[in-house]
A and B are shown apart, each in its own frame.
Chain A
Amino acid sequence: MNRFDLLNKLQNILKDNLVICNIGLPSQELYKINDQPNFFYMLGSMGLSSSIGLGLSLSQNKHVISIDGDGSVLMNMNTLATIGNRAPSNYTLLIIDNGSYGSTGDQRTFTDEDTSLKAVAIGAGCKNVVECSGEETANELSKAIDDQDHSYVIISKINSGNVKIDPIPLNPITIRDRFRKFIGIVKYL
């Protein structure tokens, strides 16, 4: 199972939640599978999906899923400590760990060598850290959303590999405003 297969399997869960999606192929694949106004596609700032989702979950009550990648988490590992100490129960960090920098040509990351993001997340203070296969991810994600009392970090171990895909045609202000309209902040659209 690669990232596209996984996102395809998760689409029915994702569409009912606020989703912050990592830059590059993850966002492009999610857009192609089933675009929703409650999906915030990152067009820059690699590494910050986890942090954006954290800020969003601290600011309103709907459930937030940050879709991140192993390469991106490795770039911003300090935020796991912030999540471990501050994440509210409406927050889930879903790390799609395929052991490679998918958007830049599938170069190996350190999770394909000796680094365990599960161990890092636990060490950083995250309480409900689940590592699972791609097949198990939908079930684990549903459980995390249903648990009203705890935040979760789910590390979904899948194969590398990408599908051919186009850039997202939406401009950043469109992504921003339709997302905020969904939350109920923007009234003018």
Chain B
Amino acid sequence: MKISKKIIASLKEGGVDFYLSVPCKLLANMIDILEKDKDVYYSSVPREEEGMGICAGAYLGNKFPCIMMQNTGIGNSVNAIVSLLQLYQMPVVFLVSYRGTPGEPVGAQGGMAKITEDILQTLRIPMLHCSSENDLEKISTFSKHAKVIESPVAILCDFNLMKED
């Protein structure tokens, strides 16, 4: 719970006040925290691409949105990222559980893990890779940076960082 609390506190400190998720086991504690938090909006959504659209609308309405999802969700969302969030220069934080990284028990998750950072690089999306607790201190500044550069950004949280939380 300690890591999840720290991540949500850092996102809120960075100004993020609108949260969506397509659930993942590694995001479960963060979802619990957000469901009880009366200061911010939270909902699950069935699919990540749709979540990108809802985040775009939230940005138009003056919210600073975050979508929480597995790295597989990046693959589901490429066109929405490029032809909506990037085309209109909309800051959105992607909080990504990085399935398929060391510690992952499900072999099939390795496929998307191998290409996740390549996809984000191809999309020119700034990344913050969190593999230890110390990395979490960068989250609030990194989130604020998304607003300054008017761009989506991605925070990748390794399997081993989240699994014992």
How many pairs of residues, A versus B, come closer than 8 Å at their CB atoms? 117
Q: Contacting A51 at CB < 8 Å: which of B53, B62, B79, B89?
A: B53
User: How far is B59's CA from A53's CA once the two chains are assembled, in angstroms?
Assistant: 11
Interface size of A by CB at 8 A reads 35
Q: Which residues of A sit under 8 angstroms from B84, Cβ to Cβ?
A: 42, 44-45, 48, 52
The verdict on A104 contacting chain B, using a C-beta distance below 8 Å, is no
Given contacts A45-B79, A48-B53, A176-B89, contact A82 B60 (CB under 8 A): no
Given contacts A81-B46, A173-B88, contact A59 B61 (CB under 8 A): yes
Q: Are B50 and A48 in contact (CB under 8 A)?
A: yes
Q: Are B47 and A58 in contact (CB under 8 A)?
A: no
Q: Contacting A175 at CB < 8 Å: which of B46, B56, B65, B88?
A: B88
The verdict on B54 contacting chain A, using a C-beta distance below 8 Å, is yes
B63's nearest neighbour on chain A, judged by CB, is A59
Q: Contacting B60 at CB < 8 Å: which of A56, A78, A172?
A: A56
The verdict on B132 contacting chain A, using a C-beta distance below 8 Å, is no
Chain A 31-72 per-residue mask, 1 if CB under 8 angstroms from chain B, else 0: 000000000101111011111111111111000100000000
* A interface secondary structure, majority: helix
Q: Which residues of A sit under 8 angstroms from B59, Cβ to Cβ?
A: 55
A171 to chain B, nearest CB (A): 10
B130 to chain A, nearest CB (A): 26
Given contacts A52-B56, A55-B60, 19 further A-B contacts (CB under 8 A): A44-B82, A44-B84, A48-B49, A48-B53, A48-B56, A51-B50, A51-B51, A52-B53, A52-B60, A52-B84, A55-B53, A55-B54, A55-B61, A56-B61, A59-B57, A78-B50, A82-B46, A173-B89, A183-B61
Given contacts A86-B43, A173-B88, A175-B88, contact A48 B52 (CB under 8 A): yes
Q: Are A59 and B58 in contact (CB under 8 A)?
A: yes
Given contacts A86-B43, A173-B88, contact A180 B50 (CB under 8 A): no
Q: Which residues of A sit under 8 angstroms from B88, Cβ to Cβ?
A: 172-173, 175-176
The verdict on B24 contacting chain A, using a C-beta distance below 8 Å, is no
The verdict on B45 contacting chain A, using a C-beta distance below 8 Å, is yes
Q: Are A48 and B60 in contact (CB under 8 A)?
A: no
B58's nearest neighbour on chain A, judged by CB, is A55
User: How far is B94's CA from A83's CA once the two chains are assembled, in angstroms?
Assistant: 22
The verdict on B87 contacting chain A, using a C-beta distance below 8 Å, is yes
Q: Which residues of B sit under 8 angstroms from A48, Cβ to Cβ?
A: 49-50, 52-53, 56, 80, 84
Q: Which residues of B sit under 8 angstroms from A58, Cβ to Cβ?
A: 18, 41, 54, 57-58, 61
User: How far is B49's CA from A82's CA once the two chains are assembled, in angstroms?
Assistant: 13
A187 to chain B, nearest CB (A): 12
The verdict on B55 contacting chain A, using a C-beta distance below 8 Å, is yes
The verdict on A179 contacting chain B, using a C-beta distance below 8 Å, is yes
Q: Are A55 and B43 in contact (CB under 8 A)?
A: no
Q: Which residues of A sit under 8 angstroms from B87, Cβ to Cβ?
A: 43-44, 172
